[in-house]
Amino acid sequence: MSHQAPLNGSANHAAADSPGELRVSKDSRESKMAGRGSTRAFVGNAVDAIHDVVELVELQAKLLAADTATARHKIILPTVLLLVGCCLLLGTIPVALMSLAEVFVNYIEWPQWLASGAACGCGLLLATTMLLFGWYRMKSGFNEFDNSRKELQRNVAWIKCRLRNQQSSTAASQA
């Protein structure tokens, strides 16, 4: 007995004509409803995740601003030290080193080449000490950003974990 489904798709007509068709029709409706439910759940989870990510970005920006304010105060002095060290090296140190070389020649009676070399070594030692001290202090000023860096790493790890969990829960609900 060949049977065609009614054109209007009414379940009542299908039930009257063939009980088997009603079951198929009911099953397809249930699967469609389940699909809609999992889609709604996925969209709801995605919206929640986006909301959480936006909050984390906002908190990360506030932490960066606080770290920048703290670091700025710690970086000012080392920057000044580096600039003063460079200016001294380029400006007055050559004159002082030439004078030191003359002291070596006149009082210790070293040859000119030895006195000039020793004075140059003293200048390099002084400049290196100042630059290293300034660099060390500058580097410690940038350590203020460790809080922001560590918090960003934790936030990224949390976001990845949350997205991974949503993908596995969505896949499980669709299966």
Mean of per-residue pLDDT scores for the chain: 75
Identity of the residue numbered 71: A
Non-local CB neighbours of 42 within 8 Å, separated by 6+ positions: 166, 170
Listed in sequence order, the residues at least 6 apart from 11 whose beta carbon sits closer than 8 Å to its beta carbon are 22, 25, 26
Report pLDDT for 170: 63
What tens digit of pLDDT does each residue of 71-128 get? 787 888 888 888 988 888 788 878 888 999 999 999 999 999 999 999 999 988 988 9
Answer yes or no: is pLDDT of 1 > 80. no
- The mean per-residue pLDDT over the stretch 5-22 comes to 45
**What local confidence, expressed as pLDDT, does residue 8 receive?**
45
DSSP string, 87-123: HHHHTTHHHHHHHHHHHHHHHS---HHHHHHHHHHHH
CB 167 within 8 Å of CB 118: no
Going from the C-alpha of 10 to that of each of 2, 17, 32, 36, the distances in angstroms are 19, 11, 16, 21
pLDDT number for residue 109? 94
Instruction: List CB contacts of 35: < 8 A, sequence separation 6 or more.
Output: 174
Nearest to residue 17, comparing CAs of 38, 33, 39, 1?
1
Residue predicted with more confidence, 107 or 32: 107
The answer to pTM > 0.85 is no
Q: For residue 155, what pLDDT is reported?
A: 82
Structure tokens at 117: 């070399």
How would you label 15-25 residue by residue, b for 16+ Cβ within 10 Å and e otherwise? eeeeeebbeeb
